[in-house]
Amino acid sequence: MNLRLHGRARTTPAVRAEIQAAPAAITDAELARRYGVSKPTIAKWRRRSSVHDESHTAHHLQTTLTPAQECVVVELRKLLHLALDDLLVVVREFLNPSVSRAGLGRCLARHGVSRLRDLEPPACPDKGKPFKAYEPGFVHVDVKYLPQMPDETARRYLFVAIDRATRWVFVQIRPHKTAAAAQAFLAALNKAAPFRIRTVLSDNGSEFTDRLFNKQKQASGEHEFDRLCAALGIEHRLTKPRHPQTNGMVERFNGRISEVLATHRFNSAEDLAQTLTRYVWLYNQHLPQRALQHQSPLQAMKHWQKQRPELFKKRVINRAGLDT
């Protein structure tokens, strides 16, 4: 028989059998003195029916994550290649606020995704012509409908802007989808952006242009949005009609917003607004992008500012008072 004993075992299977066969009249203390072991050891083997060592593996994992949450964590790690600390921020914000850093690390190790280098795809030769590289300042803008909340009498609209080079996102919720709302959004965007905005790309909606709403079917340049672009020294470009893929970068981000809206339950308009604000903050500061060499948009902007400071009008910071 292939017998394996614990490395520090003080008893053999034969001694254990003798302990189990001892009459009940003999006390644990007497047996402990006879065999030179402790009373808890005698009590343990008297309770058991087997004389073989049992597994010392814990029967219950010390984790606060449910199996479903662990699946989400693993997929986030695989798809976004998030570092442990960045993944911890996402999990605490959207899945489980009580998860610990050590517990999250053990979860990744159990599922074999603890090393980011193992998740990198194998290098392959470049095929085809690479996309044109852009500097910060080329911004895509769009508008997304928001669901109407129980405490609202009308639906609201989410104005979205995303910089092509850094993937930095700026959003505002507006009560109307009008030219005045688009003009106010552009003014707020220009004030918030750390870089100088040179070009804005939008679709042909009436809030952005009059291109499809006059006889010439061309932008007149007299639209409120066009006039503000001219005043700010910004070139306003329009997508080709019925070709939304031209503005695909902001459309993809709107898809992310749709996922947030579909997976959360909102009690009020304020609850919805706060959730979107948290998500955009998380996206800008903590979600690495494969297109940015696995940097977050804020990290990419800081890198650009070091290399090309003339493109920026103010210092890139994470949050006021935290970056020195």
C-alpha 90/C-alpha 48 separation (Å) is 46
Residue 301 binned pLDDT confidence (cut-offs 50, 70, 90): very high
pLDDT surpassing 80 at residue 232: yes
**Helix ranges restricted to H, the chain:** 13-21, 28-35, 39-47, 67-80, 84-94, 101-110, 179-192, 224-232, 248-263, 269-286, 297-307
pLDDT at 120 over 90: no
Q: Would you place residue 322 in the very low, low, confident or very high pLDDT band (cuts 50, 70, 90)?
A: very low
Least Cα distance to 213 among 201, 221, 205 occurs for 205
Phi and psi, residue 132, nearest 5°: -65, 135
Helix ranges (H only) for 111-178 are: none
Distance CA 42, CA 27 (A): 9
Phi and psi of 174, rounded to 5°? -125, 145
pLDDT at residue 228 greater than cutoff 90: yes
- Decide if pLDDT at 121 tops 70: no
Least confident segment among 115-129, 169-183, 229-243: 115-129
Q: What is the pLDDT of residue 3?
A: 60
Percent of the chain whose predicted confidence (pLDDT) is above 90:
42
**pLDDT tens column, 130-184:** 446 689 999 999 999 999 998 999 999 999 999 999 999 999 999 999 999 999 9
Report d(CA 315, CA 83) in Å as an integer. Answer: 25
- Which residues are within 8 A (CB) of 127 and not within 5 positions of it... i.e. 6 or more apart? none
Least confident of 1-15, 70-84, 105-119, 252-266: 1-15
- Write the DSSP symbol of residue 289: B
Residue 175 vs residues 143, 148, 225, 271: alpha-carbon distances, Å: 12, 11, 17, 16
pTM above 0.75, yes or no: no
How does pLDDT run across 268-290, given as a tens digit for each residue? Answer: 999 999 999 999 999 999 888 88
pLDDT band at 125 (very low <50, low <70, confident <90, very high): low
